[in-house]
Amino acid sequence: MTTKLYVGGIPYSTTEAALSDLFAKAGTVSSSSIIIDRMTGRSKGFGFVEMSNDDEAQAAINMYNGQDFEGRKLTVNVARPLEPRAPRDRRPM
């Protein structure tokens, strides 16, 4: 079973391939994604990496949480499930 990790503090110029290559040093990466702002098309500076098992995920957390990557300090921890949001008020402006 895969374990999804939250990765914050990703440099804005980093690609998904570079993120995947970095975490491959800790184990098998199932997938990686960087969240992109819809309005600007620019990275939001965080993303997610799925590791193939819990041991590799913990190894990645131990290796990279708090470490410098391309000039920024990474935050790495187990991703929390997406929580439902309250509906937005869609009144015309």
- Return the H-helix or E-strand segment holding 22: helix 16-23
Structural domain contains residue 37: yes
Residue 93 lies in a domain: no
Q: Is residue 51 included in any domain, yes or no?
A: yes
User: Domain with 60 in it: what CATH number?
Assistant: 3.30.70.330
Which residue range is the domain that position 57 belongs to?
A: 3-78
Backbone angles phi, psi at 31, to 5 degrees: -165, 160
**Domain count for the chain:** 1
On whether residue 53 sits in a domain, the answer given is yes
The per-residue pLDDT for 93 is 64
Examine residue 86 and state whether it is found in any structural domain, yes or no: no
Q: Is 68 helix (H, G, I), strand (E, B) or coil?
A: strand
What is the reported pTM?
Answer: 0.86
Q: Is residue 89 assigned to a domain?
A: no
What integer pLDDT is reported at residue 82 of this predicted model? 79
Sheet holding 29-36, edge to edge: 29-36, 43-51, 3-8, 75-78
pLDDT in tens, 38-48: 999 999 999 99
Mean local confidence (pLDDT), 46-56: 96
Query: pLDDT at position 8, please?
Result: 97
CB 34 within 8 A of CB 25: no
Identify whether 92 is part of a domain.
no
